[in-house]
Structure 1
Amino acid sequence: MARRFRGESHHKVDSKGRVSIPASFRRVLEAGDPNWQSGDNPELVIVYADHRRAFLECYTMEAIDEVDAKIDALPRGSMQRKALQRMFHGQSFPTNVDETGRLVLPAKLRKKIGLEGEAFFIAAGDTFQIWNPDTYESEELARADEWLDEQGDDFDPMEFLDGAGPAETGSA
């Protein structure tokens, strides 16, 4: 099984769009890049997608290869395949970590999510996300907290691990 991203952290973004990646995230990127060798800079793909996404989703090379295989399995010409190709092929940015452990985020990507002086990184298993910290707290965290509150006082999210949890109500 592939290594997973875990944790969250805040990092400064400089005027050129350079931002340090958490060290533990860099190790996962290295492990998820089949071409990586010690001393190399691991590659990754940043998916920025459409206007509904307020974050950047970062994929290891292995994770994006899995997505590509699933897209390739869809019927050519289908709307599902076209939409996913647009999102994962067209609305994405292949890049690599630089020798100092940083990403250089182009102005277009920074502008899309309103990223200025600080970035919030949060792990999502086989991907990680980069958010404007204020947007994460006001939108994503608030939405997740609201959903948890709707579940009732006796709800335990651990129930989902056994597949016995309540039906999902809304999207978090």
Structure 2
Amino acid sequence: MSIPADFRRVLESGDPAWSDGERPNLVLVYGGSDNRFLEGFTVKAADERAEKIERLPESRLKRKLVRQYISKSIPIQIDPDGRLVIPQRHRDIIGLDLETNAVFVGTLRTFQIWSEAEYEDYLEEDDGDEDLGFDLDPGTAPLDALDIVLRQLETSKSEAG
């Protein structure tokens, strides 16, 4: 799978070992609780996540996070042509084969790799009108909620401080 040039620049800047003329490294982990996709992290972001996990006290949560983000992570390097070669075992788990197109999805701090069919299924899933996790009127669109929630958070900070 070819990595878009803009994302390669981000991977280069997030790889402490990278230098001009070298190939950037990244870390892939299975994404979601059902391993529907692979999620790509810069080396720096993966290290930061590992440090946060390490600070947790021994617990079921810590063991689960270690299993998901440390034990199942795979360090990988972009090839000289700017492509990412995903190991067969990982392709099998997310449903990528020779006849399946891969979908590259940017997600603010990471990127995801999905099989095209699985991603289309994901997009068709109806989130319905469920609670968005904040004090919002029912039916508030997620994009509208962004400004509302940020205002609520700023108000809470100013009242507390």
Same fold, TM-score > 0.5, yes or no: yes
| Structure 2 match to 1:163 | 149
Q: Are the structure 2 counterparts of residues 98 and 141 from structure 1 closer, same or farther at C-alpha, using a change threshold of 3 Å? A: same
Structure 1 stretches of at least 4 aligned residues deviating more than 4 Å after TM superposition? none
Q: Which residues of 2 match residues 5-154 of structure 1 at below 5 A?
A: 19-48=1-30, 52-75=34-57, 77-116=58-97, 117-138=100-121, 140-143=122-125, 146-147=126-127, 150=129, 152=139
Q: State the aligned residue count.
A: 142
The structure with more helix, counted as a fraction of residues? 2
Identity %: 40
Query: 2 CA distance for matches of 1:74 and 1:86?
Result: 14
Which structure has the bigger radius of gyration? 2
Query: 2 CA distance for matches of 1:101 and 1:26?
Result: 7
Query: 2 CA distance for matches of 1:26 and 1:105?
Result: 16
1:16-69 deviations in Å (ceiling 9; x for gaps): xxx211121111111111221111111101002687120001100111111111
Ranked by relative contact order (alpha carbons within 8 Å, sequence separation 6 or more), the top structure is 1
Scaled by the length of structure 1, the TM-score of the pair is 0.74
Scaled by the length of structure 2, the TM-score of the pair is 0.79
RMSD: 2.2
Alignment-mate amino acid for residue 126 of structure 1? R
Contact 2:106–2:112 at 8 Å: present in 1 too?
yes
Q: Are the structure 2 counterparts of residues 49 and 133 from structure 1 closer, same or farther at C-alpha, using a change threshold of 3 Å? A: closer
